[in-house]
Amino acid sequence: MHLPIIYQDEYLVAIHKPAGLLVHKSLIDKHESQYAMQILRDQIGQWVYPLHRLDRPTSGVLLFGLSKEVAQLMGEQFEQRLLQKTYWAIVRGYINKEGIIDHPIKPTADFKRDKQRIAQKEAQEAITGYRRLGTLELPYCVDQFPISRYSLVELSPQTGRKHQLRKHMKHLSHPIIGDPKYGKSKHNHFFKEHFNCHRLLLAATQLTLNHPITHQSLTLSAPINSVFSDIAQLFKP
């Protein structure tokens, strides 16, 4: 596999991660043999340090540092929430034109043995801004109504909790299409059958940061592609 490189200098490298690819080796998917960190390391012939993560089913901008020092500097930016992240998603229903979701969420247990311990933890602050980009009405009875409605939405997380966007959309009763954990199976199945869509319709489209060495503002972008792009073009502003 060859990963598309969005940006590279002697300090940072950013790729467009495809949906379905792990960021790094994980016990959750211990049988998986390919992950972005390994592929990119072999591709550029240099060790890389992941600076954040994207869920396996999420595509888009993924940033790596090329040294421990740069990784530490960027880690401070993430901790201080100095970066701006933008995602696109397709969700069920007509979401409001814009708003802020300020809804704490509990950590997600990766293993069954951790569920009881995680359940005892306090919910963590989680804030997401959103803006509706378009709507789509289809003449199909997917659930209980004779027509089905969907929204194309831009999401701007201000915090970085695990599964934050997926959980927040579920909280608003507008789950992301293709989400097997927090979504609606009937709508997921409809998109598989009608659009041949077999992925989570969530993509990290833009990341804006201050370069850790030059201190200049840097905006990295990854356009949605493939089936996601084809479906997004059907939405009307």
Q: Are 155 and 129 in contact (CB under 8 A)?
A: yes
Cα angle 113, 114, 119; round to 5: 130
Q: What is the C-alpha to C-alpha distance for residues 150 and 186, in angstroms, rounded to an integer?
A: 13
Per-residue pLDDT of 10-64, as tens digits, reads: 999 999 999 999 998 876 666 777 899 999 999 999 999 999 999 999 999 999 9
If you search the block for the tokens 């802020």, which residue do you land on?
100
The pLDDT of residue 129: 98
Per-residue pLDDT of 159-198, as tens digits, reads: 999 999 999 999 999 999 999 999 999 999 999 999 999 9
At residue 110 the predicted structure's pLDDT band, cuts being 50, 70 and 90, is low
For residue 200, the domain's CATH number is 3.30.2350.10
The pLDDT of residue 92: 98
Candidates 57, 49, 21; CA nearest to 165 is 57
The verdict on residue 11 lying in a domain is yes
The verdict on residue 128 lying in a domain is yes
Rg for the chain (alpha carbons), in Å?
A: 18
Which residues are identified as catalytic? 55
H or E element, residue 181: none
3-class secondary structure, 85: strand
At residue 97 the predicted structure's pLDDT band, cuts being 50, 70 and 90, is very high
Cα angle 65, 29, 170; round to 5: 85
Q: Count Cα neighbours of 78 within 13 Å in the Cβ-side half-sphere.
A: 16
The pLDDT of residue 1: 83
Per-residue pLDDT of 220-237, as tens digits, reads: 999 998 899 999 999 999
3-class secondary structure, 132: strand
Beta strand spans in 29-126 (E): 49-50, 59-65, 84-92, 98-102
Average pLDDT of the chain to the nearest whole number = 93
The verdict on residue 16 lying in a domain is yes
Give the count of domains, the chain.
1
The verdict on residue 162 lying in a domain is yes
The pLDDT of residue 143: 87
Per-residue pLDDT of 133-162, as tens digits, reads: 999 999 999 988 899 999 999 999 999 999
The answer to whether residue 122 scores a pLDDT higher than 80 is yes
Q: Are 188 and 169 in contact (CB under 8 A)?
A: no
The pLDDT of residue 29: 67
Q: What number is the average pLDDT over the span 72-84?
A: 95
The verdict on residue 64 lying in a domain is yes
Domain that holds residue 33: 5-232
